[in-house]
Structure 1
Amino acid sequence: MLKIDIHAHFLPRDWPDLAAKYGDNRFPVIHHGEDGRHRIYKDGKFFREIWPKTWDPEIRIEDYARFGVQVQVISTVPVMFSYWARPHHALELHQALNDHIAEACRAHPRHYAGIGTVPLQSPSLAVRELERCMDELNLQGVQIGSHVNDWNLDAPELFEFFEAASELGAAILVHPWDMMGAASMPKYWLPWLVGMPAEQSRAACSLIFGGVLERLPKLRVCLAHGGGSFPYTIGRIEHGFRMRPDLVATDNFRNPREYLGRLYYDSWVADTRALRYLLDTCGVSRVMLGTDYPFPLGEQEPGAGIEALGLDEADKARLYHGTALEWMGLPKSRFE
């Protein structure tokens, strides 16, 4: 059975050192040590270690083959978004990352599809780079953060970007980043364990209550990490909508529960019962395999969560490739 992982992170071995070029150490930089280790630094401090499978297409194909997964939809790592930077500085980084993703897709078309990244702090530049991703690089869409500096995803400034994505048929992957409350949660990895799920609910509610999805019914948005906390707190969100419409329903009068079937979700929720709930609540046709490869917080055996549910072949086919192909707007023959 064709299996497509729609949430797989990918970086070049090297990228422009914008921290040195622009004198701003907030830009992430890569250091390849003599000890054979590869470390990302940001703000002058260690951020994350990465490995050759983060950038080597051949290693990744072999790694995925162990689990019978043939296709990866590759996207950058959120730390690279750099929405805080001057727009043209960020664009320089985004273009290098997008070119690298496109190169892997061209070299291995049966194993890779790609979604790019755009400098959303300048929506006009973001639209231009989105157009380049779609028209010149033949990518399937872009990954964006759960918010953009002080803008939530309902910000009027961002609407032109979402409108362009809808018109171009671009798949949008929303990924948590710059987690809320991080400064007050310095211990226990809480920004990743608590902040990330909350960020996804923030993004979903902004798109819904702000009327973005209502105004752009063809927009194809996927929420990484199974939608974060959004699907699991929809009862509370709906209750707030009903009880305090004066506060909640100011820009969109449609019940938020109606949008559960408008959004897409990846399958990585780290709990079989949570995945079953996600399928029951949002529908098998809205969920697709996603792993957060190659990081430790991701699914270590791609598809293990889906297999644990004991689904019939039709439902598994939908989760493994049917929904992903629909979200990306690609035919199955693209990978045959």
Structure 2
Amino acid sequence: MKIDIHTHIMPEHMPNWTKKFGYGEFIHLEHRNCEACMMKGEKQFRVVEQNCFKVEERVKDMDATGVSMQVLSTIPVLFNYWASAKDGHETSRFLNDHIAEEVDRQPDRFIGIGTVPLQDIDLAIKEMERCVKELRMPGLEIGSNINGKNLSDPSFFPFYEAAEKLGCALFVHPWEMIGEEQMQKYWLPWLVGMPAETTRAICSMIFGGVFEKFPKLRVAFAHGGGSFPYTLGRIEHGFDVRPDLVAVDNPVSPRNYLDHFWVDSLVHDPKTMHYLLDVMGNNKICLGSDYPFPLGEHHPGKLIEEMTLEPGVKEMLLFKNAKDWLAIQ
């Protein structure tokens, strides 16, 4: 069995929210000359393949690579945190309803996690409750920052408290990467910015005391935890030698929180995966491919399947840890 916790989907047909709301660069999809173009306002943002929105193509790929189930989440550019709270709530509901419909059609192949308008905590909690209680989603995907605010910002604490009470898992995906405007060439925002952005999110939640205040919160981070596992020594050393700068909100060492969160397996290299296992442990890494995008693992789980590991570890990485993070049977 393989459960892929990191896959993205969008509806085949979407409103042109830029025209509807009268501002901004909301994403919508236009089908032109056999191409599907993600439009950002009136500008072309990205051309996507049919497997990004046609579930039948997705299932073919899953069957070809032995993926039993995918966890469906929206594409981060659709978070729309920058929009007005009311409009962000509307787009979130639309995207969540679409994912829930796809799960309902094939519940043996898909699990859905939602998106919420985190620019307004009350509306975010309201939509989270709808996702969990009405749409039967076990979790949400959230960004690594919310309009520049770190995830340690106390304004988010009521959201974490509600997520903990609801048993709602969180999947943190990098977006609006650190330094993005200064490194547009060479695809550096995706190659350099994303790992740094995920590290920013993990460190913010640790140093801000999020895991300390909400110990039952179940959080997973994309892309193997970004740069965090490989810079943990530096992070811990900084905590030790300059507590006046680092330990200002939480006096507990960052290494103490390694068993408080999960990461996905998207590291592309067996030596890196062995190191990640050493740092995070066998029970905190879940298969995640970033399907259907080019930077993902094109054969989900192949890296794990080809590694020499202790008995039972592959099963933990391929599906058991995902069930623990999502709290599903």
TM-score surpassing 0.5?
yes
Classify the secondary structure of the residue corresponding to 1:69. coil
Alignment counterpart, residue 74 of structure 1, candidates 72, 75, 100? 72
Which residue is equivalent to 2:287? 289
- Aligned residue identity for 1:268: L
| Shift in Å, 1:14 | 1.4
Percent identity over the alignment is 50
| Bigger mean CA deviation after superposition, 51-60 or 100-109 | 51-60
Checking the alignment, whether the CA contact within 8 Å between 2:52 and 2:292 is kept in structure 1 is: yes
**How far apart in 2 are the matches of 1:19 and 1:270?**
37
Which residue is equivalent to 2:22? 23
Q: How does 1:193-212 map to 2 (within 5 A)?
A: 193-212=191-210
**How far apart in 2 are the matches of 1:9 and 1:30?**
15
Which residue is equivalent to 1:152? 150
| Bigger mean CA deviation after superposition, 54-63 or 201-210 | 54-63
**How far apart in 2 are the matches of 1:162 and 1:25?**
29
Which residue is equivalent to 1:47? 45
Checking the alignment, whether the CA contact within 8 Å between 2:224 and 2:267 is kept in structure 1 is: yes
| Shift in Å, 1:296 | 0.3
| Bigger mean CA deviation after superposition, 49-58 or 156-165 | 49-58
Classify the secondary structure of the residue corresponding to 1:124. helix
Checking the alignment, whether the CA contact within 8 Å between 2:121 and 2:158 is kept in structure 1 is: yes
Gaps of 5+ in 1: 332-336
Q: In the TM superposition, what whole-angstrom CA distance separates every residue of 1:38-88 from its partner, at most 9, and x where no partner exists? A: 011215322111122112222211211111111000000000011111011
Does residue 6 of structure 1 match 2:11?
no
**How far apart in 1 are the matches of 2:37 and 2:52?**
12
Gaps of 5+ in 2: none
- Aligned residue identity for 2:14: W
**How far apart in 1 are the matches of 2:63 and 2:42?**
37
Checking the alignment, whether the CA contact within 8 Å between 2:139 and 2:168 is kept in structure 1 is: yes
Q: How does 1:23-172 map to 2 (within 5 A)?
A: 23-33=22-32, 35-172=33-170
Q: In the TM superposition, what whole-angstrom CA distance separates every residue of 1:136-170 from its partner, at most 9, and x where no partner exists? A: 00011100000001310011111111111111111
Checking the alignment, whether the CA contact within 8 Å between 1:15 and 1:93 is kept in structure 2 is: no
Q: How does 1:216-235 map to 2 (within 5 A)?
A: 216-235=214-233
| Bigger mean CA deviation after superposition, 53-62 or 79-88 | 53-62
**How far apart in 2 are the matches of 1:177 and 1:115?**
17
Q: In the TM superposition, what whole-angstrom CA distance separates every residue of 1:217-248 from its partner, at most 9, and x where no partner exists? A: 00000000000011110000000000000000
| Shift in Å, 1:26 | 1.4
**How far apart in 2 are the matches of 1:29 and 1:325?**
33
**How far apart in 2 are the matches of 1:168 and 1:252?**
25
**How far apart in 1 are the matches of 2:104 and 2:114?**
14
Alignment RMSD: 1.0
Checking the alignment, whether the CA contact within 8 Å between 1:201 and 1:227 is kept in structure 2 is: yes
Q: TM-score, normalised by structure 2?
A: 0.98
| Shift in Å, 1:313 | 4.2
Classify the secondary structure of the residue corresponding to 2:232. helix
Classify the secondary structure of the residue corresponding to 1:296. coil
Classify the secondary structure of the residue corresponding to 2:312. helix
Checking the alignment, whether the CA contact within 8 Å between 1:200 and 1:223 is kept in structure 2 is: yes
**How far apart in 2 are the matches of 1:62 and 1:29?**
25
Q: TM-score, normalised by structure 1?
A: 0.96
**How far apart in 1 are the matches of 2:53 and 2:148?**
32
**How far apart in 1 are the matches of 2:104 and 2:73?**
15
Classify the secondary structure of the residue corresponding to 1:48. strand
Which residue is equivalent to 1:334? none
Checking the alignment, whether the CA contact within 8 Å between 2:172 and 2:222 is kept in structure 1 is: yes
| Shift in Å, 1:291 | 0.1
- Aligned residue identity for 1:241: F
Q: In the TM superposition, what whole-angstrom CA distance separates every residue of 1:288-314 from its partner, at most 9, and x where no partner exists? A: 100000000000111111123212441
| Shift in Å, 1:16 | 2.1
**How far apart in 2 are the matches of 1:72 and 1:313?**
24
